[in-house]
Structure 1
């Protein structure tokens, strides 16, 4: 029943009501989360608003199996990471929920995948197994039902030729790429794209020096000849994505919400100021929907937000983790 309700949210009231239902479900069924709440001495009867819900630190995904009781994972997603860091592991009990989440979100923002040629420049993700981003993009490419859609690893010249071909044929295109690979591409060729959406994700992955997102977007806009750079914000530990249509301002699908916590007090919230990002992802029904990330950001009106960077003590990894 909860699975169906998640994707029919139409208002903030719907979201808040359902978030509380998911909280109670996970407290009863996800032992890691229940133990965490009990450690905080959470009085369940006093959890009346989403701000009352405890947010599980994302580091728990590095060393705990977080999954509802009596369920078995259908797929396991793992994070990228440096050789010195421990990867996060997300045990996904229902791959159908993930597929519904990313497909419905994509349609909300961009329409049907069939309207586009989808090109993916995601080398650091293709080089390993267990990437939730690759799983999503692979399925969107299949949904596009377009012979020109596909992945590019280090086939830079072929990708350049494909982009030129698609532009000449006025084909609506989405190029989604990890940031450093997009920079590599425009160093080899400058474009004037009129029919292509350029979407960055994934940061530099240790391949290039990190930079402020605004600086990155200015370089990409000039290199691709576009007025806006789109972005995708997601991570291994989530089953939903937020998107930015430009200017680094993200919006969430109806079943996802961002709160910012006070950097000095993890149990207090702020608004319009830089704080630690807490994510409510109701698609994470069978693991944990309430996650305190290591990202820093600001929330704005109309449920929009921006990513400012990361806490200094955390490792650099994940999607769209730009450092100030």
Structure 2
């Protein structure tokens, strides 16, 4: 399926046209998704609005190969999980879609990646294979073209010295890190950084007690000496990310949309300001499934931003999800 128009979306009308186009493509080419739609007695010819599109429960990625193409996958991204737990598998048949999605989104929200020194503090991800976050961070590091860009495992002293060195220049810095590692760094070093974005990707990964986002961001703001902590909202099953520039309020790129469903009736959608289950439309996910019902709880604000406020009870704590309340 040709995908250029997906990244050229400008209006709500454009989004609806492309979403329906992708829905029909996936209904006819994705066996798992078509079976799910059939189970709900959905006739694709009657689907005319976003609300009428079925959203595939994210759990299907744990037990099924969710594909809308017969092309051999270029990579398989896997979610993190506790020992013995079943993980999600995202079969990605076209990595160029993923790359275009995160590069175009980053450029939209933050400007050219070439303007940054990119520091990835992602020890829990580096210690396993199949992480979509590591793939993205590695590519951002390479495309930054900054000689000091790179990954850090637990080298906090080395990172501290690098940050002191970079502060002597006008270099823009992006530190993208898992929450527990960012916290550990601030416990050892107090800094007052300029021209620096601290972006947490969530997750204590069982390393520390979970804390609410507000407390986490306050600790990190004080530790790094910045006014706001940024966040990334993404997951293994998606090819797009939403970004927050502070206070846990997220914006989506033009080809991604959040809808909030009633927790008691998943086919009913809630008005702005009301909390419910988070459904994600990710049109970059053409060759998999673009319509996913997550286990996250959230709400949409009047200005079309959204917030993640927790997770369903008994749902898995997975990579790339934000803090549990």
Q: Report the counterpart of residue 86 of structure 1 in structure 2.
A: 86
Gaps of 5+ in 2: none
**1:267-322 CA-partner distances (Å, limit 9, x unpaired):** 11112111110000000000000000000111112321011010012011121331
Matched, 1:198 2:198: yes
**Equivalent pairs, count:** 324
Q: Indicate the residue corresponding to 2:112 in structure 1.
A: 112
For 2:304 and 2:206, locate their aligned partners in 1 and report how far apart those are by CA, in whole Å.
31
Residue by residue, what CA displacement relative to the aligned partner does 1:229-270 show, whole Å, maximum 9, x if unpaired? 000010000000000011110000000000010111111111
Q: Does structure 1 residue 276 correspond to structure 2 residue 312?
A: no
Alpha-carbon RMSD across the aligned residues, in angstroms, is 1.0
1:215 is matched with 215
Matches of 1:170 and 1:49, distance apart in 2: 48
The question of 1:46 aligning with 2:46 is answered yes
How far apart, CA to CA, are the structure 1 residues paired with 2:65 and 2:276? 28
Residues 85 and 315 of structure 1 are in contact (CA less than 8 Å); yes or no, is this contact kept in structure 2?
no
In structure 1, how many angstroms separate the alpha carbons of the residues matched to 2:236 and 2:103? 17
Q: 2: CA distance between counterparts of 1:104 and 1:195?
A: 21
Greater alpha carbon shift after TM alignment, 137-146 vs 62-71: 62-71
The answer to whether the aligner puts 1:299 opposite 2:300 as a matched pair is yes
* Within-5 A mapping of 1:77-156: 77-156=77-156
Per-residue deviation, residues 111-140 of structure 1 (Å, max 9, x unmatched): 111101000000000000000000001001
How much has 1:211 moved relative to structure 2?
Answer: 1.1
Is the Cα–Cα contact under 8 Å of residues 242 and 253 in structure 1 kept in the other structure? yes
TM-score (norm 1): 0.98
Q: CA deviation at 1:69?
A: 3.7
Match of 1:309, SS state, is strand
The Cα of 1:154 is off from its aligned counterpart by: 1.1
CA distance in 2, matches of 1:291, 1:64: 14
Give the deviation of 1:170 after TM superposition.
2.7
Partners in 1 of 2:299 and 2:186 — Cα distance?
Answer: 30
Shift of 1:108: 0.5
